[in-house]
A and B are shown apart, each in its own frame.
Chain A
Amino acid sequence: MSDRETFRAEARAWLEENCPAEMRIPAKGDEDVCWGGRNFVFQSEAQKVWLERCVAKGYTVPDWPKAYGGAGLSPQETKILRQEMAKLGCRSPLNSFGIWMLGPALLKFGTEEQKVHYMGQIARGEIRWCQGYSEPGSGSDLVSMQTFGEDKGDHWVVNGQKIWTSYADKADWIFCLVRTDKTNKYQGISFLLFDMETAGVSTKPIKLISGNSPFCETFFDNVVVPKHQIVGEINRGWDVAKYLLGHEREMISGMGGDGGVTSIGAAMKATLAEESVLRAQMALFDVDNLTFRAHGERFMDEWKTGKAHPAYSNLMKYVGTELNKKRNELVMSIGGSQALEWESERANGGSKARNWLRTKANSIEGGTSEVMLNVVSKRILEMPGG
């Protein structure tokens, strides 16, 4: 047996033995997902056990080094582990902005001390992070942000406001872009980390068209942040932010399609049999969905071997989010009047309608589709102009 097949057999055996049966059925909704953190309440013993076992094995962050809480797996091994998890239907043990975003930034820009401390906390699911980037006047033009940290020797005093902070009301800590030099647009921003319980931090959920509130406004009123809580150099936070946005785009791009190549058409067979134009739209969607899966696989294989263009995740984000919006439009059309129900049990609390509305943000958050197309055009296609 090759090393690869040996690893596959081992991973499979470990999952069979350690993943509780309840964690092998799909999560019903957001409340079923384990986000970890100080205030997280486990929904079941199985959810808790699954997290603890994965933490002990390093499988919440399998490709991170062992010293920082991971399992030190190679990209190939990580891919195999994910394939085996998918085959058994294992839920992700831990969802976390720390894993997806802050961790990779720390790995590249953090000090050894920060890596051990913060990445370890993230791997163990102890601290739930949120991201402070956008401001009311700084959306697509993020670099115009104004939240200011005044230098007070051994600390900064931060004042300002962030918006679209995902789950800020549930987060323990924030990684935040703060202006530390008003005279330099790009090289006047620092990447700071601080506790959401620090005096002067407050949050206010924003109710969306979906009726849910996954985002907040976050306010800073004379918030004291010690100088050692910076990632990278002072005034060079934009480098960290740009790197991290790449990861965010990679993550959001994964939302396209349906997490696999299973068609949503099969379950709707009876409806589609009588709706030939809708069936045709569904068929074309399935072509795009299979395409996106193959595209994502190729991108990851190229990315991990350093062959992908550094701006390529922008393209994946654009394609993936537009596809996901299309998918949800089709789900609504196939669902008909039942998909319109907003509260009833038979419509699962309006989950189809709410998901459909939620996906409209996919092509806005983390860089709009229009900004993605600008980046692809300028950086990959090298089109002229400023």
Chain B
Amino acid sequence: MAMTLTDDQNMLRDTARDFMASEAPVTHFRKFRDMGCKDGFSHGLWKQFAELGFTGILIPEADGGMGMGQIEAGIVLEEIGRNLSPSPFLTTSVAAVEALKLADKAMRDRWFPGILAGETVIGIAIEEGVKHRPEKIACVATRSGNGFKLTGQKQFVVQGASSDMLIVAARTAGAVGETAGLTLFAVDKDAAGLSMEAARLVDSAVAAHVKLDGVQVDADAVIGEVDGGWAVLSKILDAGRVGAAAEMVGVGTGAMDMTFEYLKTRKQFDRVIGEFQALQHRAAHLYGEMEGARSIVLKAQSLMDEGHAKAELYVAAAKAKAGLACNLSVREGVQMHGGIGMTDEYDIGLYMKRDRSLNEFFGDAYYHADRVATMNGY
């Protein structure tokens, strides 16, 4: 496959770009941040996403969606990143949809229509510690009645308290640290024994600390196979990671463009500061890093869409590289803006906060570089 966008993909990008820029620019983000919105996003905007078909971009056509792939989802995510548009797109339409695609028809019929309509939000409850360690899941699900009883805790469940359903990874067999013996469950927000404490994050997103105190679920709440949840979890993780990477390409590019614009207008010593070679070289280096990140993210997306055996390696490298490049972009952004880069009034700092969250989401650059090493045999 050629590493260039097709005409259809370019059209989608234009649509997404125009839409985010007009309906969900940074001012939209600020508005919801400043009103202290408990969800951290606008339900109205989520409905608008649905009207454009974005919410069902990865849902198969047979289930009423657009049946597209990771490249297309990434195109939308890049524009979300560029505008800091707050939405449940990454968790619900990317990560959760990838899991539900492996679920039986009854469960797909239960959740896909709400996602397609922009009415349903789904939280991903995987993390248990402060760092991403999906194989270290200790939350347990024991057989009980017609189904299972879930006990444990989850952290960093983005938009968890705003969700209609949580996808919970729990251990039905095996020891902590093993990938075998995990099972994924669809847990309704109103389930008895489920409690959540919402916490606002540095980027104004809201994530939940989740407690599962003997939450009873029926057998039909299982997504995929009992004890074989790693297959489903892998889908969530790969899609979530490459999706977060795509969003970081957007965040990093947005911050970079803003910074370059500033270099071309800010005057000191009677000169536009972009004339200074010390800044020009750093700008050019940053551009190279962002271009590299854009390339490997596209490569990882296309390998995933092809079902290529190397996809996992490239997804890890893409999450790592996008994280490093986006982080460089926001750090250079604040520094090159100087004093005003430190002000809340100026947007560059908002990009720095968003980068920090996205870097942590589904594993940071160091975690993924470590996986690249392991997959490369050392």
Contacts and interface: CB of A to CB of B under 8 A. Distances in A.
Q: Do A and B assemble together?
A: yes
Interface of A: 263, 265-266, 268-269, 272-273, 279-280, 282-284, 286-288, 290-292, 294-295, 297-299, 301-302, 305, 307, 315, 318-319, 370, 372-374, 376-378, 380-385
B320 interface: yes
A283 B372 contact: yes
A198 B132 CA distance: 69
B309 to A, nearest CB: 13
B275 A373 contact: no
A373 B281 contact: yes
Contacts of A284: 320, 369
Contacts of B314: 290, 294
B284 A295 contact: no
A46 B370 CA distance: 42
A-B CB proximity, top 8 nearest = A385-B275, A266-B377, A263-B376, A294-B299, A283-B373, A298-B3, A377-B280, A376-B284
B4 A266 contact: no
21 contacts: A269-B377, A279-B373, A280-B370, A283-B369, A287-B372, A290-B296, A290-B313, A290-B314, A291-B317, A295-B292, A295-B295, A297-B295, A297-B299, A301-B2, A301-B4, A315-B284, A315-B287, A318-B284, A319-B292, A372-B284, A384-B274
B317 A374 contact: no
A292 B299 CA distance: 11
Given A290-B372, A305-B4, A319-B288, A381 B298 contact: no
Interface in B285-318: 285, 287-288, 291-296, 298-299, 313-314, 317
Contact of B291 (A272, A290, A305, A315): A315
Main secondary structure of the interface of B (DSSP, over half): helix
Contacts of B377: 263, 265-266, 269
B163 to A, nearest CB: 33
Nearest to B313: A290
Contacts of A381: 260, 280, 283-284, 287
B4 A302 contact: yes
B272 interface: yes
Interface centre among A279, A302, A385, by most chain B C-beta atoms within 10 angstroms, is: A385
Contacts of B365: 287
Interface string B345-378: 0000000000000000000011011101100111
B288 A280 contact: no
Contact of B373 (A286, A299, A377): A286
Interface string B9-34: 00000000000000000000000000
B154 interface: no
Given A297-B3, A383-B275, A384-B272, A292 B376 contact: no
Interface centre among B281, B288, B293, B368, by most chain A C-beta atoms within 10 angstroms, is: B288
A300 B260 CA distance: 26
Contact of A374 (B4, B277, B366): B277
Interface of B: 2-4, 260, 263-264, 271-272, 274-277, 280-281, 283-285, 287-288, 291-296, 298-299, 313-314, 317, 320-321, 324, 365-366, 368-370, 372-373, 376-378
A283 B295 CA distance: 19
Nearest to B323: A287
Interface centre among A280, A283, A290, by most chain B C-beta atoms within 10 angstroms, is: A290
B296 A380 contact: no
A318 B288 contact: yes
A280 B260 CA distance: 32
Contacts of A297: 3, 295, 299
A378 B275 CA distance: 9
Given A288-B321, A291-B296, A265 B373 contact: yes
Contacts of B275: 383-385
A286 B372 CA distance: 7
A57 B167 CA distance: 58
Contact of A292 (B280, B292, B370): B292
Contacts of A382: 264
A294 B272 contact: no
Contacts of B376: 263, 265-266, 286
A162 to B, nearest CB: 29
B242 to A, nearest CB: 13
Nearest to A334: B378
Contacts of A370: 281
Contacts of A319: 288, 292
Contacts of B368: 287
B376 to A, nearest CB: 4
A306 B320 CA distance: 30
A291 B293 contact: yes
Nearest to B377: A266
Contacts of A291: 292-293, 295-296, 317, 321
A45 B299 CA distance: 41
B378 A273 contact: yes
A373 B284 contact: yes
Nearest to A308: B4
A299 B164 CA distance: 43
